[in-house]
Amino acid sequence: MRHTLTWRPLDAFCWTAALYTVQFQGEFERTILNDSWLDSPKCRRTPRTHCDLTPDLGSDSDYGVRVRAECGQQVTPWTRLNALFNRRETLLRPLEMAVEAMGDGVRVSFERLPQTASVGVTLWRQGQEQEVRVTG
């Protein structure tokens, strides 16, 4: 399971590339480290508008997450998630899938596939299980 934070780009005009920094705060940072925030190592001053927080949110505690933008010497205020995030509350549901034979191929389609999904398909003919072909 991956936890990716995505945000809208900076609304204001920026003469240089806008750079974003993401920070997180878990229970340890709130209680032991006096309410401190830690930079996400992969998401410090990045031009991207998304951040994979999977390695940062490694425990089943409540996390605060925030992001801010830099444009030259100007820095925006931090924008925080409305509520604390806890990976235990992530709901995984099976994907709705349709499979259709098309000549020598197979067409696999998904309804409402998540934007960050990675799909692998395993194909074989009955009686030829030793010749499995994996795609994706």
Higher pLDDT, 5 or 93: 5
Long-range contacts, stretch 10-14, CB < 8 angstroms, 24+ apart: 10/69, 10/71, 10/76, 12/71, 14/71, 14/72
Residue pointed to by tokens 């992530």: 90
CB 19 within 8 A of CB 75: no
CATH 2.60.40.10 in the chain, residue ranges: 4-89
What is the sign of the dihedral through the CA atoms of 48, 51, 55 and 56? positive
Give the model confidence (pLDDT) of 103-120 as tens digits.
877 788 877 776 667 777
The rounded distance, in Å, linking the Cα atoms of 22 and 38 is 9
pLDDT average, residue stretch 64-72: 94
> What CATH number belongs to 4-89?
2.60.40.10
Q: Phi/psi of residue 89, each to 5°?
A: -90, 5
**Given this model, what pLDDT does residue 124 score?**
73
